[in-house]
Structure 1
Amino acid sequence: MWKQFLSKLPHKSFHSDASLDLTHLPPGNNGTGSVNGNSIHRTSSDNVVSSRSTTMKRTASAIFPSSVVTSAEPLLLFKDVPNAEKQNLFISKLNFCCHVFDFSDPNKNSPEKDMKRQVLLDLIGYVDAGTSRFTEPVISASCKMIAINLFRAFPPNTRSSNGGGETEEEVPVFDPAWTHLQLVYDLLLKFIESSSLDGKIGKKYIDHSFIMRLLDLFDSEDPRERDCLKTILHRIYGKFMVHRPFIRKAVSNIFCRFVFETDRHNGIAEILEVFGSVISGFALPLKEEHKLLLWRVLMPLHKPKTLGIYLQQLTYCVTQFIEKEPKLASSVIKGLLRYWPVTSSQKEVMFLSELEEILEATNTAELQGCMIPLFHRIGFCINSSHFQFQDWIKTRLTSTMQQLQYSKK
């Protein structure tokens, strides 16, 4: 009897589709982009033709479970919803992009990655349009999604720090998740630059913790990521004035840790490039805090053996101080003599090149206070038989003679 009764009940199919619960995916890296001007350029694959929302709904239901995609709302296009619902759709898309994929295998979860990429492009387009002012829930959700995708621990650097010369950069390592990280960086840049972002609300979420974790990313081995961070840090410094002292202090700590502890960091040149712009904006007369930055942070950066990688940016920062306050020139030259290398001819040539630029920005009165130790050191260089010194001296003497002949005319 029971068998007859059960045989009449409809049988539930146990054939599942290719659904995947994204909440159980292992966390992975995401990707970055290089910056040129005010935008982060994406590859040509960004020009993906948007599918109709109905098609995307069917695709979503075939890949994601209903617990992840609620009626496929995140995949709707902004033009298909009323203006009053666009910010809710924006938050829905942000939540959709909080799922992080593993990019170590390019063939793994390809449909899901493509779908997330398309949603990120939609988000960038909406922010770029700037049609409405961002509410606090939008700002909160944006910072949360950006933090989940960008902030991550880098694997231990197994490459030897003793390889290569003092000016030789190691072969860059490119993050396989670049295609997604690049879009997230682009979204962050446009989000910060947008006039729709209220700075008073934004500073609550782009806070000290957010900035510190952003600065940690400068140690990325991918130069494209460091380029993105360079522009974004500059925009944050410009937009959120309340965070400026903290940024200067945090950057100073990075430099000091590099000089006195680790002797290794991938992003010193990029951070110095941002700092050069910061120094050029210092008001006159210079504050004591800013002078301490020169003595305690910038001058010790001449000590590491990898000086050649960031020498150009460091020289620019130092000369900016002298141009703003010429009285600092004598102390800067004495500081340079303090860290003068005595065992590396290659590094001595770098010091001479920097010294040349510093002297061009120094007036005669300030040179009097350091002339004796300066020429004593230059005399040692002239007496050196190393070919690098001979070539440098020959070039500089020829240039000096030409300038003297021109001035006599």
Structure 2
Amino acid sequence: MISANLFRPLRPRPAHHYDDDGGRDEDDDEDENDASWPHLSIVYDILLQLVINLEPNTLPNYIDHSFIVRLLNVFHTQDERERNRLKIVCHKIYSRLHTSRSFIRKATANVILDYIFDSETPTSSSSRMQYYNYDCRGIGIGIGIGDLLEIWGSIINGFSVPLKEEHRVFLSKVLVPLHRPKEMQAYHKQLAYCIYQFVEKDPRLGAEVLRSILKYWPKTNCHKEVLLIGEVEELVDRMTMTLESPAAEKQNNYQYHNHPRVLLQALALPLCTQMTKCLSSWNVQVAERAHYVWMKEQFVKTVAVAGSEEGVFGVIVGGIEKNLREHWSRSVRELSQNVKQVLEEMEPELYAAAAAAGESEDSRSTSMRWRRKRERRWERVEMAAQINQFIRDQLQCKLPPSPSPSPSPSPSS
């Protein structure tokens, strides 16, 4: 009875009109709640009572692996009330079925992987379009992914330290690739919480996550950039806070080559380069969010100063000076001036040395630009002279020979 009522074809996402910016018209919003929810809520109540009251030894006879997989697929429903009830039921099933916990983790990971890889290339199959709940433009919107990540957040919180290899693989193969889809904003809060749980248990994993975030960094999605800047800032802070705890040192038994501080120093240059690009972004929201990161003393000392030997501090100084000269936004220039003052107060010697090196580099690059410009001008002049000479030669070859002058008659004749 429960299977016949819950496992049904999901209602397709209604078509909406979109404006030029890709936003949905507010006047065209439709109620996405399922009309059959009063009936479905009773079915969920019955299922929940069965999970709570049945003995753990007899519960697997009714809730087998096939039932769990079909139940997880219902998370693609649009009705938020049904997804909330599903989360409660899945929590109870996971807490009661100890023998099926590994399978439940693998099944939820498969649902997330299906969304990451299959929803990016939707086929024309109507069943697949309905399963992934695409909108009218064929774009996967990731309904239910945030709810599954909420369940995973409580599961990760119960992992013991040191982490098992299975859990590390889940982080690297499932959670980290969730930064790829365009719809990451819909579930970023739950995704970040899961990642922070892993980093608190093992700070070394933070370096792997940072490396992957830099790999998946968007080029044109400004809202996604703002979210990733905040996530990078929080990851560095949590790694630093965990390292300050003596218990973490004893618990993880770090070696030099895989110590979190060493891993952060290895990522200092690419991380500062990307954050400096965001600092100089023409989008005001991205630029302002990046400036607030560089105003934090802990972030600067952890990342920029730690890698100062590689010239990392000079990257941020060069970005700030460039903003002060060239950025179009007045508010961004003011923020750059504030960041400059903060950095000068924290590390006056490093800032002065980096600014001097940047000025000499700018002068060298300026002279090189003028030299290249002059060489290009001479190349154009020489090319124009060669073309003129070629045209003159061709015209001379095509002209008929001039006739020789006839002798003039003599006066005596």
Output the TM-score relative to the length of structure 1: 0.59
Higher deviation after alignment, 386-395 or 269-278: 386-395
The 2-side partners of 1:271 and 1:160 are apart by 26
Conservation of the 8 A alpha-carbon contact between 1:330 and 1:367: yes
**Counterpart position of 2:15:** 159
Of residues 227, 231, 240 in structure 1, which corresponds to 2:97? Answer: 240
**Counterpart position of 2:165:** 288
Of residues 229, 232, 253 in structure 2, which corresponds to 1:352? Answer: 229
Q: Is the aligned partner of 1:255 residue 2:132? A: no
> Shift in Å at residue 360 of structure 1?
1.2
Q: Is the aligned partner of 1:211 residue 2:68? A: yes
Task: Give unmatched runs, 5+ long, in structure 2.
Answer: 121-139, 241-260, 302-341, 347-413
The 1-side partners of 2:82 and 2:37 are apart by 8
The 1-side partners of 2:229 and 2:107 are apart by 30
Aligned amino acid, residue 10 of structure 2? F
**Counterpart position of 1:125:** none
> Shift in Å at residue 186 of structure 1?
1.7
Of residues 242, 262, 282 in structure 2, which corresponds to 1:385? Answer: 282
> Shift in Å at residue 321 of structure 1?
0.8
**Counterpart position of 1:328:** 205
Aligned amino acid, residue 163 of structure 2? L
Identify the structure with bigger relative contact order (alpha carbons < 8 Å, sequence gap 6+): 1
Alignment of 1:39-50 (within 5 A): none
2:87 aligns to what SS in structure 1? helix
Of residues 42, 48, 53 in structure 2, which corresponds to 1:183? Answer: 42
Percent identical pairs in the alignment equals 39
> Shift in Å at residue 379 of structure 1?
1.3
> Shift in Å at residue 365 of structure 1?
4.2
Aligned amino acid, residue 184 of structure 1? V
1:199 aligns to what SS in structure 2? coil
Of residues 143, 147, 151 in structure 1, which corresponds to 2:3? Answer: 147
Output the TM-score relative to the length of structure 2: 0.58
**Counterpart position of 2:408:** none
> Shift in Å at residue 326 of structure 1?
1.2
**Counterpart position of 2:83:** 226
Aligned amino acid, residue 292 of structure 1? V
Residues 233 and 334 (structure 1), Cα distance of their counterparts in 2 relative to 1, 3 Å cut: same
Aligned amino acid, residue 52 of structure 2? E
The 2-side partners of 1:198 and 1:269 are apart by 31
The 2-side partners of 1:248 and 1:294 are apart by 12
- For the aligned residues, what is the CA RMSD? 2.8
> Shift in Å at residue 398 of structure 1?
5.0
Residues 338 and 277 (structure 1), Cα distance of their counterparts in 2 relative to 1, 3 Å cut: same
The 2-side partners of 1:277 and 1:312 are apart by 14
Conservation of the 8 A alpha-carbon contact between 2:233 and 2:293: no
The 1-side partners of 2:57 and 2:93 are apart by 13
Conservation of the 8 A alpha-carbon contact between 2:32 and 2:78: yes
Task: Give unmatched runs, 5+ long, in structure 1.
Answer: 1-144
Conservation of the 8 A alpha-carbon contact between 2:279 and 2:288: no
Computing the radius of gyration from Cα coordinates, the structure with the larger value is 2
Residues 171 and 223 (structure 1), Cα distance of their counterparts in 2 relative to 1, 3 Å cut: farther
2:57 aligns to what SS in structure 1? helix
The 2-side partners of 1:159 and 1:172 are apart by 12
User: Structure 1 or 2: larger helix share?
Assistant: 2
**Counterpart position of 2:409:** none
